[in-house]
Amino acid sequence: MFEILSKDERSAARTGRLTTEHGIVETPSYVVVGTNAAVRCLEPGDLPGTKTQMVIANTYHLWRELGEEGLRDYPGLHQEMGWSGPIMTDSGGFQVFSLGAAREHGAGKVQGMESRASRAEDAMVRVTDAGVYFVEGGEEHYLDAELSMKIQEQLGADIIFAFDEPSSPHHDRDYTRLAMERTHIWAERSLAAKASTQRIYGITQGGGFEDLRRESAEAIGAMPFDGFAIGGSFGTSFGSTETQLLKELAWSVPFLPEYKPRHLLGIGRVADLFNGVLAGIDTFDCVIPTREARHGSLWTRDGRLDIGGKGKYAEDGGVIETDCGCFTCAERGIPRRELHAMFREKNFEAGRLATIHNIYFFNDLMEKIRGAISSGTLADFKKEYLKEGP
């Protein structure tokens, strides 16, 4: 399933080849988010031109949208998406956090990126040792390891994930340990319940606690998973986001089997990609390219452009990025001012063009990172790309 092709002499970075039933993924790689079996704003024919290798869909949202009957008759994600390449599905575990502790604590995926004030009454989740109750519209919907496996089998992704409980950066040590121990038990139950030939990844937890991160990596790493993911919400109340992420990767990655692929869940800013790759991460998924594109934020080598903003680009005749090979820049050649006007007019095509560019940007960056690892120049490439000092 996974073959390491080259290693960086000065870090844990490596290039690899991840073989799935629906194709090969060259790693390190960005996995594009297609939450409800679609990459928002795009048509299926748009993806191949963005250098996309793999897509990840959301088990929880598809489960709630399709229902039991809809899942039973579901043709599978590949047919539904019109996408012939590899697909991942998460386990639904992240919604345990996003609909529960994230609402209760006003927490974001990463400490320092909180989304709103904490309101315990907003939480939609009740966690038990057996599984999780999601509360919607006055009704409870139960999800556990066994049902998560069944749903993911029906969705038909190439790679699926074990059910887990991510903890919040605001959880104390005692609760973080409890969530980690549940995750370990649910991982064993996920393995036992899996009845398909799909590849399955286990997820490590442990929050911002070094000993818990190591304990989780060792426990999950000893289980017979096909690959591993580092999960949870990154950061504590101390230090910067980037510093804490680096620490938590250092506490986890060395204790996972080297010969199996490693995935970093939900993290994907430019600096994070470099740091993750240097720590030994093989694949990443994040909503940044697609979500920010829909709001008019476009990524370039020189930073992020707020094309949808209040007028800075209203008279700018240049393309988003002159040396970009994406459809929006290289083929369409759309000027910044035109794209700005489209966003101001709420033209749907603006989101499509911006999304194509952002996905291409991140996939192209990962391709360049693979080349730098293979040529032994990753450290220099990172320094030059991020404009770091000597």
Residues forming the active site: 90, 285
Beta carbons within 8 Å of 241's beta carbon, 6+ residues apart: 110, 111, 112, 113, 234, 235
Token pair recorded at residue 40: 């928002």
Cβ distance 326 to 367 under 8 Å?
A: no
Measured in whole angstroms, the distance separating CA 245 from the mean position of its chain's CA atoms is 15
Measured in whole angstroms, the distance separating CA 388 from the mean position of its chain's CA atoms is 26
β strands within the chain, DSSP E: 2-7, 14-20, 23-27, 29-33, 54-57, 87-89, 125-127, 132-136, 139-143, 159-161, 199-204, 227-230, 262-264, 283-286, 297-300, 303-306
Residue written as tokens 């897509």?
Answer: 55
Cβ distance 4 to 15 under 8 Å?
A: yes
Name the β-bridge partners of 372. Answer: none
Give the C-alpha separation, 18 to 291, whole Å: 27
Give the 3-state secondary structure of residue 325. coil
Give the C-alpha separation, 363 to 288, whole Å: 12
Give the C-alpha separation, 370 to 336, whole Å: 30
The values of phi and psi at residue 221, to 5°, are: -65, -20
